[in-house]
Amino acid sequence: MAWLTDPQAWLALVTLTALEIVLGIDNIIFISIQAGKLPVAQQEKARLVGLGLAMFIRIALLFSLTWLMGLTSPLFTVLGNEISGRDLILLSGGLFLIWKSTMEIHEKLEGEQEIASARVGATFGAVIVQILLLDIVFSLDSIITALGMANQLLVMVSAVVIAVGFMMLFSGKISAFVEKHPTIKMLALSFLLLIGVALIGDGLDMHIPKGYIYFAMAFSVVVEMLNLRMRRGTPVKLHQPHLEHSTER
């Protein structure tokens, strides 16, 4: 529990929790779409169950990936660098974050809007199964981001639990805020690019002090808060590639 007296650990917890909340907006949207196929009386329960599943999936992945990160024995050498299992996870995770964030930014700014497929049996069990599958996909970038931002497993787990609990209470308001201020979403995706580069650097033994990353993020957030305060209206409308069907049930 030494991290409780470490200011950098607390900074990592706050930053990671905020990032997990913003990055979880897409997950909330998908869960809402799936839950919307159920009778109104079951929709709130489905949303809560879906977010609860997301939390447990993230924690399970955190424990498994953290264990794999302990594999530090060299497997092979590339250009004089010894590559271990931990390095492979960092390199693949960094490349995944860079790819995912780049595709998301392109999709939000240049992509075409489509109607999301909604073919699923309108039963509570079927909807929960599909939410579970979606949670697994959405957990990947969340967990890799946590690995890139914090060193202590307890900090990562705490951030996930706090973020999911916050989303359970304020999912509607969070979605509305990000929808009203889409640059917040773009800022979070740019943070993923930064974390992806840092993970690749760690995988190649070119360690970037996390304090530099936290400072860059904090500075960007302060600038964006000033922009939000100065702006009137929404300057840009992001594309939404997964729109809910508008047909009546």
For 227-238, give the DSSP string: HHHH--S-S---
Question: Which residue did the predictor score with more confidence, 117 or 86?
Answer: 86
Among 183, 85, 198, 191, residue whose Cα is nearest residue 151 = 198
pLDDT band at 66 (very low <50, low <70, confident <90, very high): confident
Between 197 and 133, whose confidence is greater? Answer: 197
Residue 138 is predicted with a pLDDT of 66
Reported as a pLDDT band with limits 50, 70 and 90, residue 238 is low
pLDDT band at residue 148, thresholds of 50, 70 and 90? confident
pLDDT in tens, 9-60: 788 888 888 888 877 766 776 677 677 677 878 877 887 888 888 888 888 8
* Helices 85-109 and 40-68: angle between axes, nearest 10 degrees: 140
Note every long-range contact of 235-240, with CB atoms under 8 Å and residues 24 or more positions apart, other chains counting: 235/183, 236/182, 236/183, 237/182, 238/108, 238/109, 238/182, 238/185, 238/186, 239/107, 239/108, 239/109, 239/110, 239/111, 239/112, 239/113, 240/113
Residue range 183-209, pLDDT digits in tens: 887 888 888 888 888 888 888 888 888
Report which of residues 214 and 190 the model is more confident about.
Answer: 190
Q: Does residue 241 register a pLDDT over 60?
A: no
Is the pLDDT confidence value at 248 over 60?
no
